[in-house]
A = this chain, B = another copy of it.
Amino acid sequence: MSEEKEITIYDIAKHLNISATTVSRGLKDHPSINIRTRKKIAEAARQLGYRSNTFASSLRSRRTQTLGVIVPRLNSSFMSAVLAGMENAASREGYNLIIAQSLEQANKEMENAETMFNKRVDGLLVSLAYGTESIQHFDIFFNKKIPVIFFDRVAAHPDGANVVIDNYGAAYQVTRHLIQQGCKRIMHLGGNTLLNVYADRLRGYKQALADHKLPFDEKLVLNGNLTEEWGTEAAQYILQFKAKERPDAVFSANDTAAVYCMIALKAAGIKIPQDIAFAGFNNDPISKVIEPNLTTVNYPGYSMGQAAVTSLANHLNGNTDINATNTIVLRSELIIRDSSLKNK
């Protein structure tokens, strides 16, 4: 490997026949060094392969300009939008991102947290795993006053800040829209209600029913992992109802389950939206391709990533205190498409 000698400012000084102090100042763009010299120094540094000593300066400043990101899974349409937004803000603010995935497992999330801690990240951004029931493993950060921001799947903590959308409100809007289309037996396909996002969507669904004097029926709520396969199985569950008791609408907590449920129902001769209206959540690319196009909630992943990093950076730069803010709620938006328009 790299057995070569590390280039220092003394090598640059010798190469240019100037003092090391001048080189050091020149590399920092110090105004006392004239522009031409600064340029010469920068060129020599590049040519010789000088690496600015971020290590040593990290030891001095106790800052690494690095943020840790722990997410359940990297390969989802939503998470890739979040990451893109985070990288955009981090690069603007002069931070680097270190990423890790928990694969929905609490113990992997604990390992990730410990690694990030030892890597001395300046701050941590976390979306919690399915399996996480306690957030004690982040205490090492809280104890050291290293800021932690939870996003999307969050947990309440007096020292942590949250970046979320109003899941309750969005679900309420979706359900009300289906009710306004004349639907009376609305099914909800939900996720793990230990997680705020799914618990809040279920709550919004229930409240909209109650506010419109529709009875809540436990048989019309199915919770699962919201995958393609599970969405297909949900269609089989729906087809088992007697014709009169069959749901006339489905509100799914994500687009994947909604789309694969639709595909299976269509194959069984069900007409959408005439027989069963559909709405999903996320505004994934597939929602614009399924026929009929899927009504859904636009979940601003890119903005969420940007907001999380920007508020972390503001806190680190001493501009704002995230403990004072605590929760940032981003605007989501109901997108109405043909899958739910019964009266078109």
Contact = CB atoms under 8 A, between A and B. Distances in A.
Contacts of A79: 80
A192 interface: no
A322 B172 CA distance: 55
A221 interface: no
A120 B80 contact: no
A331 interface: no
Contact of A77 (B2, B59, B285, B302): B285
Nearest to A290: B289
B120 A101 contact: no
A42 to B, nearest CB: 11
Given A75-B83, A80-B79, A146-B2, A96 B98 contact: yes
Contact of A49 (B52, B81, B143): B143
Nearest to A4: B144
Given A49-B140, A49-B143, A51-B118, A84 B96 contact: no
Nearest to A97: B99
A84 B98 contact: no
A58 B53 CA distance: 12
Contact of A100 (B1, B87, B259): B87
A67 to B, nearest CB: 10
Contacts of A49: 140, 143-144
Contacts of A34: none
A115 interface: yes
Given A145-B2, A291-B291, A120 B286 contact: no
Contacts of A289: 259, 263, 286, 289-290
Given A77-B80, A118-B54, A4 B145 contact: yes
Interface residues of A, number: 57
A252 to B, nearest CB: 14
A316 B55 CA distance: 21
A51 to B, nearest CB: 5
Most chain B C-beta atoms within 10 Å of own C-beta, residue among A120, A145, A259 = A120
Given A75-B302, A96-B115, A99-B87, A2 B62 contact: yes
Contacts of A46: 140
A117 interface: yes
A91 to B, nearest CB: 7
Interface in A59-89: 59, 62, 66, 73-77, 79-81, 83-84, 87-88
6 contacts: A2-B62, A88-B101, A91-B101, A99-B99, A259-B289, A285-B286
Interface of A: 1-4, 6, 46, 49, 51-52, 54-56, 58-59, 62, 66, 73-77, 79-81, 83-84, 87-88, 91, 96-101, 115, 117-120, 140, 143-146, 256, 259, 263, 284-286, 289-291, 302, 316, 318
Closest 4 CB pairs of A and B: A80-B80, A75-B84, A74-B84, A75-B80
